[in-house]
Structures are given as C-alpha cells and as structure tokens.
Amino acid sequence: MRVIRTAAAQLGPIQRDEGRPSVVARMIALMDEAKGRGATFIVYPELALTTFFPRWHHEDRAEADVWFEASMPSAETQPLFDRAREHGMGMSFGYAELTPEGRHFNTSILVDPEGRIAATYRKIHLPGHVEYDPERTHQHLEKRYFEPGDLGFPVWRFMGGIVGMCICNDRRWPETYRVMGLQGVEMVVLGFNTPSVNSQKGTEALGDRMFHHKLSVQAGAYQNATWVVAVAKAGDEDGHHLMGGTVIVDPDGKIVAEVEGEADGVVVHDCDLDATRFGKETIFDFARHRRIEHYGRITAQTGAEVAV
Amino acid sequence: MRVIRTAAAQLGPIQRDEGRPSVVARMIALMDEAKGRGATFIVYPELALTTFFPRWHHEDRAEADVWFEASMPSAETQPLFDRAREHGMGMSFGYAELTPEGRHFNTSILVDPEGRIAATYRKIHLPGHVEYDPERTHQHLEKRYFEPGDLGFPVWRFMGGIVGMCICNDRRWPETYRVMGLQGVEMVVLGFNTPSVNSQKGTEALGDRMFHHKLSVQAGAYQNATWVVAVAKAGDEDGHHLMGGTVIVDPDGKIVAEVEGEADGVVVHDCDLDATRFGKETIFDFARHRRIEHYGRITAQTGAEVAV
C-alpha cells in the first residue's frame, strides 16, 4: 500500500469583485478542514483565485491581465503556501499565468509539502473561441486569453507516486490520459470550471453535461489504471452558472468520493497508488497489447480527414 | 436526417457441439425479426458462428482450424447471405478467418444490401495469452490462435454513412475510436464475447465488468461523436459464462437501446447519422482543438516508460 490521503477541495462561486485575499482565505479554510481529516495532499480547481473570467469579453486583451498572476507565490497567495507548509501538505491549484516574457497560460502547479513548486502544467486543450460570438448564450474566450500549453503532459515523482496534471477541457480528450499513462501515471489531478449551460446548445440538460464530465474522467482512469482527482469551481458567478461534480475516481474507473452541491466543500479519500498495479499489469499492460503501427493518424493529422 | 434503422442482434450461448447450420438458422430468425421491425442493417457478435473457442486449449494449433472459415460466404453461411439480400438488408458479423495463405485472424465484415462483402476488419487488440496458463480460472487463448489484424482501422462509405468496425477488446482502447474518428466515422459496429468472470481476478463482480464495457463504448462514442453498436454473445457456453450488454450508443454517449438478458434477442433503433454533426463541429472539432505536437508518445512507444 502506498496511500496518499487526498482531499478534493471544491470551490463555490467566486464573484467578479471578490478579491484574491478572500478566495485564499476560503482555500485555507478548506485546507484546515482537510488537514483535520488527515489529508496530506489537497487539490483545488482550475483558475482557483478568481472568477471564471473567460466568460467576460475584453476588447483590449491587456485589460484581462488583471486576472493573471505575474509571480507565484505572490503576496496574496503566500499565506496559502505558508499554511500548506505548516500542515506538511502537498497541494495543486490552477491560476492564470503571465510570464515575464508577457505570455499567457492557463496553468496549474504541484506544490510539495515543503512549500516548493515541484511541477508546472499549462493547459493544452483550450476550448471556446477567440472573438466575441453573438450566437452564443455566453462567451467562452479561452482561446482569446491563453496560448495553448507548451509543456506537454509530463508526470512527476511526487509524494511517493507518479503524478500528472491536466485542466478542465483536457479531461475530455483520451490523448491526455494516454500520454501520461505511457509514463506510468498513478494519479492525475485536474480542476475545472464547466458552465452548466452549453453555450451552443441550450437544450442540453445539466444532467447530460455532468454525465459527459464523469464519463470522460472515469474512462481516462480505467483505460490507464490511474487515480483521477477532478475538482470543480461551481455555482452562480454573477449570473453565470458553473456545475459541480468534484470526484475522486479509482484506477478501476469508479467514483469513490464526490462533493455534493455547489458550495465550498472537501472530500477525502485514501488513494492507494498500488491499486493501479492490477490494471497496468493485465488488461492495460500496454507493452503486451498496444499496436502502435495502426495508430498513426493520431499523431499524423490534427483534424478529421474524410474520404470523398 | 440520414437514418439507418439498425438492429443489434445478440446471440445467446453456442455450445461446443452446436453446428454452424443451427447457428445460422438462429441468426436468420433474428434477421427476420429485425426485418419485421423495419431494420435495414443488422449487427451480430464477434465469432458469431461458433462457441467462443479461445477458451479451449489445443496443444496442436492446427486442431483449432475446425473453428475457422476458409471461405466467406461458405456453404453453411450462404443462407444467411441469401436472406439478407432477399430482405435488402446490410449486415455485419464476426468469424474466425483462415486465409488461403494459412493465416488466422479474428475478423468481421460488412455485407451490403446486395449481399456483397463490402469491407473486412481484422481484430487488432487481441487479449489473453499464447500458452496454457494454469494460474487462470479459465483460458483466453486469442494470442495463440490469431495474428493481430493487419488492416488497421479503416472506415467505409456504407449505406449512406461512414462506418467502421472493431471487435471486442478493441472497444476498451481509445485509440480504436480515435483512428476512426479522424476519418469522420459516424457509426462503429462491434461484436464481443466477454467472460462474466475475470480469469485473473475472481473477485471482480459482473456488474463491474458490465460497467467497464459500457464505460468504454460510451466514452468512445461521445469523444468521437459517433454511433456505436456493440453486440454480445452471451450466456453459459459449456459451463463458461459470457456476459450480455448489447447496446446501441448515440453520438452523445448515451445508451438508447439495450438487449436485456443473455438469450438471442434484437433491439432496433433509428440511428440518425446527422446526429453526429453537433459534436464533430463543436467540442470535438478536432481541427480546432487537437494538439498533436503533445501526443507523440502515443505512436512513438508501445509500452509505458517510467522514469526512474
């Protein structure tokens, strides 16, 4: 048994005018609760420090820099790092990253129990669009405000396991999990902000959207024999609703812990990394069963090519 | 709307001593039932003509040739082809193929409404093992009796749509669906013979195995915005139990039709191929969203490579 007692820490809504110190205080409260339940690792959502700003259209993109962090930790996030170190807890959270070179990424990090940033991931599958789209019920401007991640899908030795990250829409793409699975990943952590309404299909029920979320993370877990910790920011942000669905999924694809509702909340689960062995050594023993000579299109072409 | 009224035709158990003429008669009865319900296309299971013989160990592999078909159609299967042509129905079924060169494949075909074989697929992801394994509760000798398929995962223009095939264990591999998705597939048809017991994990519940089956086909459908028709051979074959789980899954990943139980049985559903458009044009518009520069490991390496 190699157990990481893991907390999935859902955040309820963050309104547009809520400042980072308030959000960080909420995150610390969740951390204290997780610590009280014995957790050694806590996972927060994507873009945890602010409202889900890609719904807001800034004609001048530079105006959007207000949502970005130019350093990490920053003065405002230092208390979160300090508390994690005091508790001896590892953590992961997402934020909008503005690099010294002026580049913009949707980023998440792993912070080790000593408070050091051990790993950085930059979101690769950016959903949405670049320009204001009057056809949509709401905007989803991730392709406007971020560059696609440039760091691939690495994994890291972290807290005794092999851990990888992805963010939100990445979780719907089987390539995400497979690239990490091919590096022996034992736990994938991810955060998400998923609108409760499909901006291009208003008739799609919330239940359907929750189904797609869970289907994607459960399949990714099962097909790579890995834990997946998927954490939502949820609830009504200035009239725009985000769904919940914070779950911990075991290497068999089963949901073993779930946050109910759309408020701040924590679930804790003992994730035994050795539980990944059976799947990796039998049905998903890649070395024995994969046939890469027939997968060429996956890396040779981006879009679908339909024969006439 | 481009509707193919599709029948998923589950077969109950086929005992070791049941001859092909008896099986073909059962298949024709299902076809007649499907025709009566207006179906124009019928899908049968993997290795539809015989018992699931890879559970039986033949020390001399040549003995196993009794389970293979040296021609298709054969004298014994010609009545099935004739009836399909009379009904003006397309069909797909699986069988063990022995080529003129003496090669062995686990094969499925598409037969057009004029009775011509329009497409051939040979199973790529062979599960199981090559030699008798006394550690297992039962044998699963597909790697002994078959070569891995050598035809890739093509798709075909068929009955007004873009149709692909895979077989049984292929359905658990996201690469299977993705390679076809990258060719614009609108319907994937597959058959399976899945033992109700995990030969290496006797404690795994039947419900878990059914969950993994459905999870895999539903995720493949959703993530490629394609119909999936997955057809079981089910029930007790000479004391070895196969699970059911015959389903038709829509391009949203939802099960829209299902055969209950483990006997011969048909479900029919109007599969509108245009229902694949929304997913292919929005969240799974591959050309806009995929980032192949980060997928390299998927085709560059077969097994997992774990950094020390």
- Tell me, what's the pLDDT at A137? 86
CB burial class (10 A; 0-12, 13-18, 19+) of residue B205? exposed
pLDDT of residue B75: 97
Preceding peptide of A73 cis, ω within 30°: yes
Tell which residue, A41, A35, A43, has the closest CA to residue A10.
A43
How does pLDDT run across A181-209, given as a tens digit for each residue? 999 999 999 999 999 999 899 899 999 99
Find the catalytic residue in B35, B123, B233, B280. B123
- The number of folded domains in chain A is 1
Low-confidence ranges of chain B (pLDDT < 70): 308
User: Which residue is catalytic, options A35, A123, A233, A280?
Assistant: A123
ipTM over 0.90 threshold: yes
- Among candidate residues A183, A181, A185, the one with its CA nearest the CA of residue A163: A185
Question: Which one of A143, A158, A180, A298 would you mutate to disrupt binding with B, by most B Cβ within 10 Å of its Cβ?
Answer: A298
Question: Which residues in chain B are closer than 8 Å to A158, comparing Cβ atoms?
Answer: none
Q: What is the pLDDT of residues B98-118, one digit of tens each?
A: 999 999 999 999 999 999 999
Confidence of residue A107 (pLDDT cuts 50, 70, 90): very high
Residue B229: its pLDDT value, please? 99
Q: What's the whole-number mean pLDDT along residues A146-169?
A: 98
A88: left (phi over 0), alpha (psi -120 to 50) or beta: left
pLDDT at B68: 98
Selection from A276, A125, A92 nearest residue B289 by Cα: A125
CA distance B29 to chain A (A): 35
The whole-number pLDDT of residue A84 equals: 98
Q: Which residues form the domain of B14? A: 3-300
SS3 A294: helix
Using a CB-CB cut-off of 8 Å, the residues of chain A touching B210 are none
Q: What residues pair up with B43 in beta bridges, in sequence order?
A: B8, B92
Any alpha helices (H) in chain A, and if so which ranges? 20-36, 78-87, 142-145, 174-181, 206-224, 277-281, 286-289, 297-300
Q: Dihedral through CA B135, CA B140, CA B143, CA B144, nearest 10?
A: 80
pLDDT digits (tens, 9 = 90+) for A30-43: 999 999 999 999 99
Q: How high is the pLDDT of residue B191?
A: 98
Does residue A308 belong to any structural domain of this protein?
A: no
Q: What is the CATH number of the domain that holds B262?
A: 3.60.110.10
Q: Using H for helix, E for strand and C for coil, what is the string for chain B?
A: CCEEEEEEEEECCCCCCCCHHHHHHHHHHHHHHHHHCCCCEEECCCCCCCCCHHHCCCCCHHHHHHHCECCCCCCCCHHHHHHHHHHCCEEEEEEEEECCCCCEEEEEEEECCCCCEEEEEECCCCCCCCCCCCCCCCCCCHHHHCCCCCCCCCEEEECCEEEEEEEHHHHHCHHHHHHHHCCCCCEEEEEECCECCECCECCCCHHHHHHHHHHHHHHHHHHHCCEEEEEEECEEECCEEECCCCEEECCCCCEEEECCCCCCEEEEEEEEHHHHHHHHHCCCCHHHHCCHHHCCHHHHCCCCCCCC
Cα B249 to Cα A112, A198, B70, B274, distances in angstroms: 43, 21, 33, 14
Residues of A within 8 A of B174 (CB-CB) are 174-175, 178, 219, 223
Report the C-alpha gap between B12 and A145 in whole angstroms: 55
Tell whether B75 is covered by a domain. Answer: yes
Q: What is the pLDDT of residues A61-80, one digit of tens each?
A: 999 999 999 999 999 999 99
**Residues forming beta bridges with residue A161, ordered by sequence position:** A158
* B305 belongs to a structural domain: no
Mutate to test the interface with B, among A256, A284, A302 (most CBs of B within 10 A): A302
CA-to-CA distance for B196 and B239, rounded, in angstroms?
A: 11
In a domain, A207, yes or no: yes
| pLDDT of B152 | 98
Give a yes or no: residue B306 inside a domain: no
* Interstrand relation of A187-192 and A161-167 (parallel, antiparallel or unpaired): parallel
Instruction: With respect to residue A307, please indicate whether it lies within any of the assigned structural domains.
Output: no
Q: What is the mean pLDDT of chain A?
A: 97
Q: Token pair for residue B203?
A: 């404690």
Among this protein's residues, is B123 annotated catalytic? yes
d(CA A5, CA A269): 6
Residue A307: pLDDT over 90: no
d(CA B284, CA A190): 20
Question: What are the distances in angstroms from CA B103 to CA A194, B61, B147, B201?
Answer: 50, 12, 7, 32
| Confidence at residue B137, expressed as pLDDT on a 0 to 100 scale | 86
Residue B159 and residue A272: Cα distance in Å, rounded?
49
- How close is the nearest chain B Cα to the Cα of A82, in Å? 30
Which two tokens mark B227?
Answer: 């119909």
Residues in A touching B289 (Cβ below 8 Å): 125-127, 169, 173
| pLDDT confidence of residue B216 | 98
